[in-house]
């Protein structure tokens, strides 16, 4: 789900920099398994469907990196193997 319209065209380097900035904040939110990049978007990996978590993500991204497209992937909780 893309949460930012209009879509910014970002280079991989720019997106990596944004990910590095927002990931620590996002990973403190219960229900987030991880943060990555996918198809020119910031990818947020969720433990399960949650509107509350998505709203928290959108607020952080809007305040930290306005206009950056976000996609959500429900993966469940990541576990160390």
Domain that holds residue 45: 12-74
Q: Which of 3-7, 10-14, 50-54, 59-63 has the lowest mean pLDDT?
A: 3-7
Q: What is each CA distance from 57 to 6, 18, 26, 81, in whole angstroms?
A: 18, 13, 6, 27
Q: Provide the number of structural domains found in the chain.
A: 1
- pLDDT tens readout for residues 10-22: 889 999 999 999 9
CATH number at residue 63: 3.30.300
**pLDDT value at 7 more than 70:** no
Asked if residue 79 belongs to a domain, the reply is no
CA distance 50 to 21: 23
Asked if residue 33 belongs to a domain, the reply is yes
pTM over 0.85: no
Please name the residue ranges forming H helices in the chain.
12-26, 51-64
């Amino acid at each position: 789900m893309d949460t930012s319209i209009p879509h910014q065209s970002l280079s991989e380097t720019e997106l990596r920099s944004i990910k590095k900035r927002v990931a620590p904040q996002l990973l403190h939110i219960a229900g987030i398994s991880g943060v990555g990049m996918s198809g020119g978007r910031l990818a947020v990996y969720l433990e399960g469907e949650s509107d509350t978590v998505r709203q928290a993500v959108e607020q952080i991204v809007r305040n930290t990196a306005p206009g950056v497209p976000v996609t959500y992937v429900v993966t469940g909780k990541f576990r160390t193997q």
